[in-house]
Amino acid sequence: MTAPQLRDEELIRLFLSTRQNEYFETIYHRYVNKVYRRCYSLTKCTAKAEDYTQDIFLRVHANLNGFKERSSFSTWLYSISYNYCMDQIRLNHRLNTVTIDEDMAHNIADEGDTDHHEEQLQTLQLAIQTISTDEVTLLRLKYEDDLDIKEIAKQYNLKDSAVKMRLKRTRDKLRTQYTYRLEF
């Protein structure tokens, strides 16, 4: 039998035992369009669907020995595809990226616009002066000294959740003061 005539499970066993890429290529060609359509149905973006499809097959190739034949290969691959796409969508929502078109690019300040940056720094300095020394110290430990929450909690003899809440409240307070000063 030639590779295209073999069942998925047989192709996987042959690939894992011989590491001959023709077996994996057969699986890839058998499912690439289905995975792409799944990715596209979730992202509604051809570029993302193409990227995600390639990423999924790279992961499947690297972790094919994780397929334990408890379900059909197509079900396993569908599950990986769905989970990968949903993880990427959640990550993208968290990161809130914005695509910059040509019109927006003209409105972005040049790196040489030091006056604007200097003004922002002065406004931030004024906003920092409105919060307590303890709050400033907490922010510095987290963002300048790069300490994690557990280390800060240990240093202050607090619970992790208390440190997180104090950081959030301090950031909110600072953001409010900064925004207020920018408006005036």
DSSP string, 86-152: HHHHHHHHHHT-----HHHHHHSPPTT-HHHHHHHHHHHHHHHTTS-HHHHHHHIIIIIS---HHHH
Assess whether pLDDT exceeds 80 at residue 100.
no
What average pLDDT does this structure show over 163-169?
90
Confidence of residue 108 (pLDDT cuts 50, 70, 90): low
Report the CATH fold assignment for 3-95: Rna Polymerase Sigma Factor; Chain: A (1.10.1740)
Residue 147 makes CB contacts below 8 A (sequence gap 6+) with: 141, 155
For residues 98-114, average pLDDT: 59
Query: Predicted confidence band at 103 (pLDDT cuts at 50, 70, 90)?
Result: low
Span 158-171, average pLDDT? 90
In this predicted model, which residue has the larger pLDDT, 119 or 149?
A: 149
Query: What's the pLDDT score for residue 36?
Result: 95
All structural domains of the chain with their residue ranges: 3-95, 106-183
pLDDT of 110 strictly over 60: no
Q: Is the pLDDT of residue 146 over 90?
A: no
Measured at the CA of 49, the angle between CA 61 and CA 26, to 5 degrees, comes to 35
Under the phi-then-psi rule, with left for phi > 0, alpha for psi from -120 to 50, and beta for the rest, what region is 100? beta
Kindly report the backbone phi and psi dihedral angles of residue 173, in degrees, each rounded to the nearest multiple of 5, phi listed first: -60, -45
CATH number of 106-183: 1.10.10.10
Mean predicted lDDT score pLDDT of the chain: 83
The pTM of the whole model exceeds 0.85: no
pLDDT higher than threshold 80 for residue 123: yes
